[in-house]
């Protein structure tokens, strides 16, 4: 039996609600909202449509500020930012998945069953880690690609109802097919940046007897509050700002895709990004450029130590509360 793939399947079936159904439900709501908005605009003939922040249709009239090709390119790129709600869902799913990863089976005592199986603690912990860092983002990304693509098509069809033949241009735009590939390409970047955050939550999950959320979130937040209080009381620089930004912010911000631009100092370049002048793969290039950040590799080293601690804790912690 190939043990590791079997462990990954176990993780999927145990966390199917968060890994699969949460993004599917949110994606369905997004499509429903887009469809209803388009239908209302077409029926009223006075809808406003914006692409990348620029109004294309106002009061049912197609504005001639952009060519149809430019509009199509804007819609193709819009597939990427339209995934933002699913990125937020992914962040919450991975956070709570990590917090319960080694705690839940101690709480319901199922850990005794799993320890009776011929599977090492190392393989079990690593399977959970891979499920959170790779499998869960991959599923959310695939759902996001489908949703983002359909939203772009709905917008193009809506414009067609107002006399702008954008859909053929959209389907003939290379960015329409490259944008999904670009999103898939940054999954390894997300996994590496989120690794220390996931590892921290897993250690707390393996150690806490109860309320792992309070321990995982409360400990760094309380430490930050104490540092800020001491700095304010004694008027001495104790590094509170650095702690909030590089420990608390990095610890919980890394669950959200795209935050590596902030942590690596590329946020301003992303803000200036113009889809009509640049390829979506330039965002991929900037994402992989963030891998040169010392903050990333320090975090990975810390994550390796935390994962080792989580594996050791799982060997002897068999009960929660």
Any domain includes 127:
yes
What is residue 104's predicted lDDT score, i.e. its pLDDT? 85
Any domain includes 194:
yes
Cβ atoms 90, 261 nearer than 8 A:
no
Angle, to 10 degrees, between the axis of helix 136-161 and the axis of helix 187-207? 130
Whether the predicted pLDDT of 118 surpasses 80: no
Whether the predicted pLDDT of 113 surpasses 60: no
Cβ atoms 286, 261 nearer than 8 A:
yes
What is residue 304's predicted lDDT score, i.e. its pLDDT? 97
Q: Which residues pair with 49 in a beta bridge?
A: 57
Q: Which residues pair with 55 in a beta bridge?
A: 50
- Nearest in space to 53 (alpha carbons), one of 275, 292, 281: 275
Say which residue, 206 or 268, is predicted with more confidence. 206
Any domain includes 94:
yes
Any domain includes 110:
yes
Cβ atoms 249, 281 nearer than 8 A:
no
Whether the predicted pLDDT of 36 surpasses 60: yes
Q: Which of 1-15, 131-145, 182-196 has the lowest mean pLDDT?
A: 1-15
Quick one: average pLDDT of 261-285?
Answer: 75
Q: pLDDT per residue over 212-227, tens digit each?
A: 999 999 999 999 999 9
Any domain includes 311:
yes
- Nearest in space to 151 (alpha carbons), one of 276, 29, 19, 284: 29
What is residue 174's predicted lDDT score, i.e. its pLDDT? 87
Quick one: average pLDDT of 151-173?
Answer: 84
Between the ranges 24-28, 34-38, 168-172, where is the mean pLDDT highest?
A: 24-28
Q: Phi and psi for 137 in degrees, rounded to 5? A: -60, -35
**Number of independent structural domains in the chain:** 1
Say which residue, 168 or 305, is predicted with more confidence. 305
- Dihedral angle computed from the Cα positions of residues 177, 183, 187 and 193, in that order, rounded to the nearest 10 degrees: 160
Single pTM value for the model: 0.88
Quick one: average pLDDT of 184-207?
Answer: 96
Any domain includes 321:
no
Q: Which two tokens stand for residue 287?
A: 């994402």
Average per-residue pLDDT in the chain?
86
Whether the predicted pLDDT of 62 surpasses 60: no
> Domain residues for 219?
3-316
Cβ atoms 75, 155 nearer than 8 A:
yes
What is residue 268's predicted lDDT score, i.e. its pLDDT? 65
Q: Which of 11-25, 163-177, 243-257 has the lowest mean pLDDT?
A: 163-177
Q: Which two tokens stand for residue 83?
A: 């995934």
- The C-alpha atoms of residue 93 and residue 76 are separated, in whole angstroms, by 27
Cβ atoms 4, 127 nearer than 8 A:
yes
Q: Looking at residue 118, what DSSP letter applies? A: S
Residue 5 burial (10 A CB sphere; 0-12, 13-18, 19+): exposed
Angle, to 10 degrees, between the axis of helix 187-207 and the axis of helix 174-185? 30
- Helices (H) and strands (E) counted in the chain, each on its own, are 19, 3
Buried b (16+ CB within 10 A) or exposed e, 193-213: bbbbbbbbbbbbbbbbeeebb
- Nearest in space to 83 (alpha carbons), one of 152, 13, 175, 131: 152
What is residue 115's predicted lDDT score, i.e. its pLDDT? 61
């Amino acid at each position: 039996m190939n043990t590791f793939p079997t462990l990954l399947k176990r993780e999927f079936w145990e966390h199917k609600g968060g890994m699969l159904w949460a993004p599917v439900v949110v994606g369905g709501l997004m499509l429903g909202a887009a469809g209803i908005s388009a239908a209302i605009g077409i029926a009223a003939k006075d809808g406003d449509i914006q692409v990348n922040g620029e109004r294309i249709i106002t009061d049912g009239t197609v504005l001639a500020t952009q060519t149809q090709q430019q509009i199509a390119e804007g819609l193709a790129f819009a597939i990427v930012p339209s995934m933002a709600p699913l990125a937020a869902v992914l962040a919450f799913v991975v956070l709570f998945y990590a917090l319960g990863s080694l705690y839940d089976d101690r709480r319901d005592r199922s850990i005794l069953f799993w320890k009776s199986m011929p599977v090492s603690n190392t393989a079990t912990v690593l399977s959970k880690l891979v499920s959170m860092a790779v499998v869960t983002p991959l599923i959310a990304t695939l759902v996001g690609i489908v949703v983002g693509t359909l939203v772009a098509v709905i917008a193009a069809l809506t414009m067609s109802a107002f006399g702008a033949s954008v859909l053929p241009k959209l389907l003939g735009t290379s960015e329409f097919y490259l944008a999904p590939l670009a999103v898939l390409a940054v999954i390894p970047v997300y996994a590496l940046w989120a690794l220390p955050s996931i590892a921290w939550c897993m250690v707390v999950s393996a150690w806490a007897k109860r309320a792992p959320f309070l321990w995982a979130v409360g400990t760094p937040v309380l430490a930050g509050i104490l540092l800020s209080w001491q700095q304010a009381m004694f008027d001495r620089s104790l590094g509170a700002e650095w702690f909030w930004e590089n420990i608390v912010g990095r610890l919980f911000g890394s669950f959200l895709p795209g935050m590596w631009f902030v942590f690596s100092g590329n946020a301003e370049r992303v803000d200036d990004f113009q889809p009509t002048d640049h390829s979506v793969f330039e965002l991929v290039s900037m994402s992989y450029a963030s891998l040169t950040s010392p903050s990333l590799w320090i975090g990975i080293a810390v994550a390796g130590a935390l994962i080792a601690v989580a594996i050791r804790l799982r060997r002897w912690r068999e009960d929660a509360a």
